Structures are given as C-alpha cells and as structure tokens.
Structure 1
Amino acid sequence: MKKAEILDEIWEVIEDRAINPSEDSYTTRILTHRKGIDKSLEKVGEECSEFIIAVKNGEKSRITEEAADVIFHLMLALKRADIHVQAVWDELNSRRH
C-alpha cells in the first residue's frame, strides 16, 4: 500500500460511517455524539496533548501511536466541519510551489 493510500482508505471509512452509522463503530460514536463537533474537537485536543507528551518523553512507540490518533481525529473533525479531506491535500500541494 502506498503511503497516502491508507489516508484515503480511512477517509472512505469515515464517509461510510457518516452515511451508514453502526452502533459498534467508534467512528460513528464520535460523528454522532450529542456534543456535535465539540466532541471531535475535544478528541483532537486530547490526542495533540498526548502526542506532545510522548515527544517530550522520547517515547518512540507512543509518538507513532499518538501521531496516528491526531491524524485520525483531525479527519473526523474535518468530516464534522463538512470539509472534504481532499481540500487539505490540495492546500498542502499548493504550498509546494
């Protein structure tokens, strides 16, 4: 799997859970939480804090885990904000020129 393909696959799952909620899905629970987008934003903040602590403590495996959590929860927040992840990829691409 190419590096970016996993991000596209995760986005597809997020999109699917938004359309086809599942009671057993963590993604669904965050997307449909009674707090609305605030729940997604809380998770982004929480995971960013955990990432910072892992980096400060030099915990290599935790850094990787927390970085993945930050990216995942950021994507959930984008979905709740009705922003397609492609807009972020396009913005990043525009900054390369």
Structure 2
Amino acid sequence: MIGFTLADLETIVAARAASKDSGSYTASLAAKGIGHVAKKLGEEAVETVIAAVSQDDERLTSEAADLLYHLMVALQLRHVPLAAVMDELQRRTAQTGIAEKAGRPPELGQANG
C-alpha cells in the first residue's frame, strides 16, 4: 500500500510555494512564476519520454516523480486543485477513451486524428 499520495504532495507544494524559505526549491520555482514552471514541466515531460523509451525502470521512476512534482507546482500556481483534475479523470472514465476523445472540442491549429 502506498503511504504517500498526490494529495500529500499537493499539501506540501502549497505550503512551500507560499513560504519565503530561500532554501526551498518549490518557493524559488513559485517566485519565478508560471512561465518558468511551465518550461520546467515541459522539460521534465521530455525527460520522462526519453526514459520511457531508452532508459531503465529506475530512471523512468525518477523522471516520472520529477514530472508529477512540476505538474503539482504548475497546478498550484494556477490555483487548480488536484481534486479538479481527479474529477475530470473520473468524468472521463464514464465512457470509453475513444468516445471521450471524440467529444473534445478540436484544438486550434491541429487536425483531428
């Protein structure tokens, strides 16, 4: 059983992002703003993909943790609670993934498919 949850991480990130602790990486990220955090999130996503296709499970685990952490910081800075993300995931499970994706509005500049 897992003792540590994303909800736990959300609580820690919120507290550290609001702090003025110069030794806190989370506080330093928050001070740099959402643009910087979004860039870091993208970098971590790429590193996770690379680990998934060409590195060992330990590296993938580490990169996945980095990705989740930076996502939680981005959500915190945008004031999007983890519960909203979980609610969206729950809503999506009410139908097949193909049907859910087909029901999404098309994104600008992207073809469907």
Which TM-score applies when normalising by structure 2?
0.75
Equivalent position SS for 1:32:
helix
The aligned counterpart of 2:57 is 60
Task: Compute the displacement of 1:23 (Å).
Answer: 1.0
The aligned counterpart of 1:96 is 93
Q: 1:21 to 1:13 in 2, by over 3 A?
A: farther
- RMSD between aligned residues: 1.6
Gaps of at least 5 residues in structure 1 are none
Looking at structure 1, the residues matched to 70 and 84 of structure 2 have their Cα atoms a distance apart, in angstroms, of 16
Higher helix share: 1
Gaps of at least 5 residues in structure 2 are 95-113
Which residue of 33, 47, 50 maps to 1:50? Answer: 47
Q: Is residue 18–residue 27 contact of structure 2 (8 Å, CA) maintained in 1?
A: no
Which TM-score applies when normalising by structure 1?
0.86
The aligned counterpart of 1:25 is 24
1:38-62 per-position Cα deviation (integer Å, ceiling 9, x unaligned): 1110111110111111112142111
Which residue of 33, 38, 41 maps to 2:38? Answer: 41
Identity of matched residues, %: 35
User: For the pair shown, which has the larger CA radius of gyration, 1 or 2?
Assistant: 2
Q: Is residue 37–residue 73 contact of structure 2 (8 Å, CA) maintained in 1?
A: yes
Q: How many residues align?
A: 94
Equivalent position SS for 2:80:
coil
| 1:11 pairs with 2:49 | no
Task: Compute the displacement of 1:17 (Å).
Answer: 1.7
Looking at structure 2, the residues matched to 30 and 19 of structure 1 have their Cα atoms a distance apart, in angstroms, of 11
